[in-house]
Structure 1
Amino acid sequence: MTYQDPTMTQDSALITDPDWWRGAVIYQIYPRSYQDSTGDGIGDLAGIIQRLPHVASLGVDAIWLSPFFTSPMLDFGYDVSDYRDVDPMFGTLSDFDELIAKAHELGIKIIIDLVLSHTSDQHPWFIESRADRTNDKADWFVWADPKLDGTPPNNWLSIFGGPAWQWDTSRQQYFLHNFLAEQPDLNFHNAEVRQELLDVARFWLDRGVDGFRLDTVNFYYCDAQLRDNPALPLEERNDNIAPAVNPYNHQEHLYDKNQPENLGFLQDLRSLLNEYDAITTVGEVGDSQRGSEIQATYTGGGDKLHMAYDFALLCQAHPTGTRVAEIMQTAESFGSDSWGCWAYSNHDVERHSSRWNLSDAAQRTYAALLMSLRGSVCIYQGEELGLSEADVAFEDLQDPYGIRFWPKFKGRDGCRTPMVWKSDNQNGGFSEGTPWLPVSADHLSKSVQAQENTPGSMLTFYRRLIAFRKEQLPLLKGIFELLHADDTHIRFVREHNGQSILCAFNLSEEEQSFDLPAGAWTMDSKAPFTISRDGAKVTLPAWQAAFAVTLGSNTGDSSDG
């Protein structure tokens, strides 16, 4: 939280709790799709500046800004060709500096997306590295000789399909790419590479950023011996990270990522961050089998990442009360000093309202559940409007991932269509030109304009929900104690410094009831749901949540079980 006194000067108003990130609500902006200020159909930094008042109105603490660096845009900015500049389609470094300044004036922090595991094949580092085997950057990327029969050095697979190795005719070697062949992986075993990436982080810290979202943070190191991954038993396979049609799910990824050396680099990064005030990090952990364990390991001890997320709530599996309880208890089992950052939607996955086929009421209840879990929270642009996944025709697809696996997997374009600001034109107020992806006609009726002054709208609900969360210190920083969970109901207590809040959620179409635990509980009138009680008995209508508070410390459950 940013603590501000009206008598403070602007500079002193930016003095921040160093733990502001703990319990923060972070709003992800995908720059290409937020607001176009030039009419070229692509969102930009000036457009984001224009829309900062909307972000501020939500009450969020920070913006996570997806990549805006110079890039050939084969993976839309996640293929970086210059870490220290803004791609002209998004603006200039001066625009970025203005964005930082304007956001800070509004009390919003800026977290930028750093893609350190790989670069574009157009990056000068790779161009030099691939020239021959003796140049100064020859060992800056992961190169390997072929097997005697000319095939790749091992069986590693790319998340985007096919082998993770690409033959290079200049060096007569293979290079590693965990994603597109045009995204070669950096060699973190090289100390010069690690130092250069730390210098990149320092460059942006010196420009005033408040932290980093670290893309594919568990992919930095690969096994130095390049050993084969073992097969993953059929019963252990899932589509948390890659779609079911992708053979990537057939391997146990023991050697192409998740290497122990990664901890040392994260410690070095944290040491750098500690030179600056109130900086944070949130790491993306892409692993289907050990995501929770890696998340806890990377954030525990106070000397690595501040927080991290895996795909436990970003996957296809429906978040029943039982499943959410298992996720939270697993996270808790790895240590109380670790810190998660929970999300349902982002730029990589189908929007959760469509993924889980949620009604309007169900979206609200799940949003309240998300805001009540122990950890920080990310919400994705348009989530506050209740947007569904857009249906993008094959001929309009831009995402190489979707094009590769169409039609069984349609890629990520459906969650990346432009933000809708107005309902009175086909582009939704996003652009005066032709948008890079078509605006969904189904989204227009849910625009910011349509919901802005409507008391019962999803937008109004999110504003009220975030404000409620910020008023409850136990929801921000408290411990988590599970009271009850089944597929249609979950109930738990959050407690901090003697203050407790009981959170109960009916995840079904049927009315449910429960008894409050022993103690002096009061239904919280500020909560975005109005729930009745009869003595200790609380009745939850379909898709409703209840919040009760007490100053007592007794959270034992004497309920219906």
Structure 2
Amino acid sequence: MNDRLASVRHASLKPTEWWRGGVIYQIYPRSFADANSDGTGDLPGITSRLDYIAQLGVDAIWLSPFFRSPMKDFGYDVSDYRDVDPIFGTLADFDALVERAHQLGLKVLIDKVLSHTSDEHPWFRESRADRTNPRADWYVWADPKPDGTPPNNWLSIFGGSAWQWDSRRCQYYLHNFLASQPDLNFHHPDVRAQMLDEVKFWLDRGVDGLRLDTVNFYFHDRLLRDNPPKDVRKVGMDAIPLSNPYGFQRHVYDKSQPENLAFLNALRALLDRYPATTTIGEVADDDPFGTMAEYTTGTDRLHKAYTFSLLTHEFSATYIRQTVEALESRIGGGWPCWSIGNHDVERVMSRWGGGRAPAALAKVLMALLLSLRGSVCIYQGEELGLTEAQIPFEALRDPYGITFWPEFKGRDGCRTPMPWTSSAEHAGFSRAQPWLPVPAEHAARAVDVQDADPDSVLNAYRRFLVWRSAHTSLVKGSIRFIDAPPNALAWIREHDHQRVLALFNLSERPARFDLDASLGAIEPLSGHGFTAQLADRSVTVPGYGAFFAGLHPTSA
């Protein structure tokens, strides 16, 4: 049937609101493409592959950190906010990347790590020298308790106390992550002003937005009060593994402090001076939806917030519906950014599919993700249906995994290099031995293989992204769930009286949806790549399949 809902790509969106419902492709630079054959991906490598990303049909790229760093946490420990680390290239390489991306119609977002620096940053070296230097209070320092122990019970996400003793100042400093990642003191006005200036440096270079790492970690409780314990029944229900004691606390005082809102106001005011720029805040919190709502409400805070709620191991239609409806009930006029994978969690095909799931699961998860209300982040390799790589202990690079092995194997398995050419050495990522190995099963799913297969996961992504962009209801419309069979989901997206019905079967067996007459006339939509059988008001959706239809009022 004719697709009466088709329209010009994002035609109803203001140019400055491209991010609302936009699709962002996350690039992990050291694993995307290696141009100089040293085994590590780099900025020129990314630039050489931008045509591939543009052909995918996304709106923007998000670059994980490429700043100068000792790489103890692979770039999330910054030692110079204004320079490119030599392993990734130069500032000129970055400028060339931005120029080429803009030529292709792609926006460029960079990952700003503002809550902490590397212990090799000149600011920290000065701060730790003594208690009277100009930057003495730029980091969070505290005296020990009378018995010499840390000032409170705060824990590091990477294991152990969040406090590290420093023999120079004879004080502890706060580190929410590695001991080599000291936390900045955002209560200090000079720190806040400096971090805004660091952001401005990159906005002036032409970036279109920021992904803000750990955006709710900027401020800490001035009184350094102890965190209370978490209800043991809820331990392990978030993205923190059970083996990590961090999950045993309610993080009331070490993050998500009320002072953060004023800094977000100042940050948004800076972004507003650069039209069409945007922010995505990474929110990891005991009450993620409440914090996301607080941080994205109105027009003077974040544009959108990134949720971990679909990055867990829990996978069911019931869980997804409860999660989305819970967020919708809390976020109000705020805007979410959804993801089912990133550089910190096990790849979704293994996490939700067990590693042997068929390609059809990757396709239906893609369609589901891209049909939620909000913006979307796609992590590199998801469009190939990549599974989690199994990395032996001796090859691990991630300090998180090394600490908690073997109960938690860390993040290396989702960070292995992109496979470009199946028959080439290291799957075409590099002519040198890569920093992490390329699994044989990834080479079999390389870009060149899938590019030549019309039924591949890659071509399913391309097809669906183009189709989605022509439906404003799917880009920015409201969402309302309706009843569905077990292991299935059904909802309606609506915008300007245009309604799209979306059905998803998350099981391997066909599912029958019986649709109520109150929904109106059902007009199946084509071009999205899925097939189903409509008989009267019943739709039979194949295993791991989807169905989309326009809904129209029936005449009296």
Quote the residue 1:12 is aligned against: none
State the secondary structure of the residue aligned to 1:428: helix
More moved, 320-329 vs 153-162: 320-329
Quote the residue 1:395 is aligned against: 394
Quote the residue 2:3 is aligned against: none
Shift of 1:520: 2.0
Contact 1:166-1:175 within 8 A present in 2 as well: yes
- Asked if 1:301 is matched to 2:298, the reply is yes
Over residues 400-429 of structure 1, what are the superposed CA-to-partner deviations in whole Å (9 max), with x where a residue is unaligned? Answer: 000111111110000000000011134010
Equivalent residue in structure 1 for 2:131, among 130, 133, 142: 133
- Give the residue type in structure 1 aligned to 2:304: M
Quote the residue 1:415 is aligned against: 414
Residues 436, 501 of structure 1: CA spacing in aligned structure 2 closer, same or farther, 3 A cutoff? same
- Asked if 1:334 is matched to 2:335, the reply is no
Shift of 1:172: 0.3
State the secondary structure of the residue aligned to 1:362: helix
Aligned counterparts of 1:89 and 1:506: Cα–Cα separation in 2: 44
Contact 2:227-2:253 within 8 A present in 1 as well: yes
Matches within 5 A, 1:57-456: 57-287=55-285, 289-318=286-315, 320-356=316-352, 357=354, 358-456=357-455
Quote the residue 1:505 is aligned against: 504
Contact 2:290-2:331 within 8 A present in 1 as well: no
Quote the residue 1:520 is aligned against: 521
State the secondary structure of the residue aligned to 1:209: coil
Quote the residue 2:533 is aligned against: 532
Contact 1:226-1:255 within 8 A present in 2 as well: yes
Shift of 1:361: 1.5
Shift of 1:18: 0.6
Quote the residue 1:8 is aligned against: none
Contact 2:307-2:339 within 8 A present in 1 as well: no
Shift of 1:515: 2.7
Shift of 1:300: 1.3
Shift of 1:335: 3.8
- Give the residue type in structure 2 aligned to 1:52: L
Aligned counterparts of 2:205 and 2:146: Cα–Cα separation in 1: 49
- Asked if 1:550 is matched to 2:554, the reply is no
Aligned counterparts of 1:146 and 1:461: Cα–Cα separation in 2: 57
Quote the residue 1:9 is aligned against: none
- Give the residue type in structure 2 aligned to 1:491: A
Residues 4, 354 of structure 1: CA spacing in aligned structure 2 closer, same or farther, 3 A cutoff? closer
Over residues 151-200 of structure 1, what are the superposed CA-to-partner deviations in whole Å (9 max), with x where a residue is unaligned? Answer: 00000000000000000000000000000000000001001000000001
Shift of 1:309: 1.5
- Give the residue type in structure 1 aligned to 2:527: K
Aligned counterparts of 1:311 and 1:95: Cα–Cα separation in 2: 32
- Give the residue type in structure 2 aligned to 1:293: G
- Give the residue type in structure 2 aligned to 1:541: P
- Give the residue type in structure 1 aligned to 2:499: S
- Give the residue type in structure 2 aligned to 1:324: I
Aligned counterparts of 2:429 and 2:14: Cα–Cα separation in 1: 33
More moved, 233-242 vs 178-187: 233-242
Shift of 1:310: 2.0
Shift of 1:550: 2.9
- Give the residue type in structure 1 aligned to 2:393: F
More moved, 109-118 vs 239-248: 239-248
More moved, 289-298 vs 253-262: 289-298
Shift of 1:392: 0.8
Aligned counterparts of 1:510 and 1:295: Cα–Cα separation in 2: 36
Contact 1:285-1:309 within 8 A present in 2 as well: yes
Aligned counterparts of 1:351 and 1:528: Cα–Cα separation in 2: 23
Residues 553, 169 of structure 1: CA spacing in aligned structure 2 closer, same or farther, 3 A cutoff? farther
Quote the residue 2:4 is aligned against: none
Contact 1:240-1:316 within 8 A present in 2 as well: no
- Give the residue type in structure 1 aligned to 2:306: Y
Shift of 1:213: 0.2
Shift of 1:286: 1.1
Contact 1:223-1:255 within 8 A present in 2 as well: yes
Shift of 1:322: 1.2
Percent identity reads: 57
Matches within 5 A, 1:469-484: 469-484=468-483
State the secondary structure of the residue aligned to 2:521: coil
Aligned counterparts of 1:552 and 1:263: Cα–Cα separation in 2: 44
Residues 4, 236 of structure 1: CA spacing in aligned structure 2 closer, same or farther, 3 A cutoff? closer
Shift of 1:239: 4.7
Larger relative contact order (CA 8 Å, sep ≥ 6): 2
- Give the residue type in structure 2 aligned to 1:348: D
- Taking only aligned residues, the RMSD between alpha carbons, in angstroms, comes to 1.6
Residues 222, 77 of structure 1: CA spacing in aligned structure 2 closer, same or farther, 3 A cutoff? same
Shift of 1:321: 1.5
Over residues 57-115 of structure 1, what are the superposed CA-to-partner deviations in whole Å (9 max), with x where a residue is unaligned? Answer: 10000000000000000000000000011001101101000000000000000000000
Shift of 1:366: 1.4
Quote the residue 1:559 is aligned against: none
State the secondary structure of the residue aligned to 1:421: coil
- Asked if 1:464 is matched to 2:463, the reply is yes
State the secondary structure of the residue aligned to 1:493: strand
Aligned counterparts of 2:326 and 2:9: Cα–Cα separation in 1: 37
Over residues 205-236 of structure 1, what are the superposed CA-to-partner deviations in whole Å (9 max), with x where a residue is unaligned? Answer: 00000000000111111101000000112112
Quote the residue 1:26 is aligned against: 24
Quote the residue 2:35 is aligned against: 37
Contact 1:498-1:553 within 8 A present in 2 as well: no
Quote the residue 2:5 is aligned against: none
Shift of 1:509: 2.3
**TM score, norm. by length of structure 2:** 0.95
Gaps of 5+ in 1: 6-14, 555-561
State the secondary structure of the residue aligned to 1:446: coil
Contact 1:500-1:552 within 8 A present in 2 as well: no
Gaps of 5+ in 2: 1-7
- Give the residue type in structure 2 aligned to 1:479: S
State the secondary structure of the residue aligned to 2:427: coil
Over residues 124-170 of structure 1, what are the superposed CA-to-partner deviations in whole Å (9 max), with x where a residue is unaligned? Answer: 11000000000000000000000000000000000000000000000
- Give the residue type in structure 1 aligned to 2:496: N
Contact 1:322-1:486 within 8 A present in 2 as well: no
State the secondary structure of the residue aligned to 1:481: strand
Contact 1:167-1:174 within 8 A present in 2 as well: yes
Over residues 422-467 of structure 1, what are the superposed CA-to-partner deviations in whole Å (9 max), with x where a residue is unaligned? Answer: 1113401011111011111110110001111211111101101111
State the secondary structure of the residue aligned to 2:99: helix
- Give the residue type in structure 2 aligned to 1:351: R
Shift of 1:330: 1.0
- Give the residue type in structure 1 aligned to 2:318: T
More moved, 107-116 vs 426-435: 426-435
Over residues 498-518 of structure 1, what are the superposed CA-to-partner deviations in whole Å (9 max), with x where a residue is unaligned? Answer: 100000111112322123343
Contact 2:279-2:304 within 8 A present in 1 as well: yes
